[in-house]
Amino acid sequence: MSWRKEALAQPQCPGLHPEAGFIRVEGLGMSFGDRIVLDGVDLDIHRGEVFVIMGPSGCGKTTMMRHLCGLTRPTRGSVVIEGQDVFSLAPSELRTLRLRTGLAFQGGALLGSLSVLENVALPLRENTDLDGEFVLEIARMKLEMVGLLHAADLLPASLSGGMKKRAAIARAIALDPEILFFDEPSAGLDPVTAAEVDNLICKLNQVFGITTIVVTHDLPSAQCIADRVAVFFDGRVAAVGEKEHVWHHQDERIRDFIERRMREADERDMDIATFMAM
């Protein structure tokens, strides 16, 4: 983990005056047929914080995130954002709420036939009445914020993995969201590029105060960006709180999970250090 840590700029994300109860999840349950995927989840996400969701593959992290942004309706329970129960909203109210959120999901999902600039401009074209040239100006500004202005005219196919992630982030912030969702932002990236994406997430959180919810497998990434962490097991919150509380949790299952992730990160870093020394 040390090699990766050195690649990260300090200080880590401190969060901006977090305010409890911004997003409240109560008794959330979700089943696909007989399979219970979320089993009575309670969470309190603070305004302005970076909240990280971890847990073994298949434990329900992506499903949880889809509920948080109103994309999937639960079998039971509620998600309340600033006092609004997401699943009781009229379609027009839900649309307004969605405009306050940005999604940067696994895979990035950039449209292959559009340039990077046009991909970032798309949410502005679809959701505002802004003049075409002004839309492009805003899109360029967003690309500049993620360090990708030089790639504005390229097609997504010619971008590296890290550039694709940054383009997806530029698109996610096109409408100046108050809440940003990331599903596995560092998946498939080498540690240095992953650290760059982490730093970008921190910058957006610190500079604009965007409440940020991140699903990740990557412990060094969670250590870098999180204000608070939740670890899910079998569709339930097994631990939640400040990083140090979670990393040193008394539950053996949590400690085993964290130690395994730590070993994986160390092995990966050793592989890279060996490769670079060759």
Interface residues with ligand ATP (CB under 6 A) are 32, 37, 55, 57-63
CB 15 within 8 A of CB 50: yes
Nearer Cβ to ligand ATP (15/60): 60
In 3-state terms, what secondary structure has residue 179? strand
Q: Which helix (H) or strand (E) holds 84?
A: strand 84-85
Nearer Cβ to Mg ion (62/199): 62
Which of Mg ion, ligand ATP, none is residue 63 near (CB under 5 to 8 Å by kind)? ligand ATP
Nearer Cβ to ligand ATP (123/185): 185
Task: Give the shortest CB-12-to-ligand ATP separation in angstroms.
Answer: 24
* Residue 13 per-residue DSSP state: P
- Angle, vertex CA 247, rays to CA 10 and CA 166, nearest 5: 45
Which of ligand ATP, Mg ion, none is residue 59 near (CB under 5 to 8 Å by kind)? ligand ATP
Interaction site with Mg ion (CB under 5 A)? 62
Instruction: Print burial letters for 196-220: b (CB count within 10 Å at least 16), e (below 16).
Output: bbbbbbbebbbebbbbbbbbbbbbb
Task: Give the shortest CB-59-to-Mg ion separation in angstroms.
Answer: 9
Task: Give the shortest CB-269-to-ligand ATP separation in angstroms.
Answer: 21
Which of Mg ion, ligand ATP, none is residue 230 near (CB under 5 to 8 Å by kind)? none
The amino acid at 195? A
Nearer Cβ to ligand ATP (37/179): 37
Nearer Cβ to Mg ion (31/62): 62
Comparing CA positions, the residue from 191, 189, 156 lying closest to residue 148 is: 156
Task: Give the shortest CB-64-to-ligand ATP separation in angstroms.
Answer: 7
Nearer Cβ to ligand ATP (77/209): 77
Nearer Cβ to ligand ATP (37/172): 37
Which of ligand ATP, Mg ion, none is residue 275 near (CB under 5 to 8 Å by kind)? none
The amino acid at 203? K
Residue 165 structure tokens: 């992630």
Which residues, in sequence order, are CB contacts of 162 under 8 Å at separation 6+? 189, 193, 196, 197
Task: Give the shortest CB-62-to-Mg ion separation in angstroms.
Answer: 3
Task: Give the shortest CB-138-to-ligand ATP separation in angstroms.
Answer: 32
Which residues, in sequence order, are CB contacts of 123 under 8 Å at separation 6+? 171, 174, 175
Which of Mg ion, ligand ATP, none is residue 58 near (CB under 5 to 8 Å by kind)? ligand ATP
Cα distance between residue 164 and residue 109, in whole Å: 9
Task: Give the shortest CB-217-to-ligand ATP separation in angstroms.
Answer: 6
First CA to last CA across the chain, in angstroms?
A: 20
CA distances from 80 to 148, 218, 259 (A): 35, 28, 34
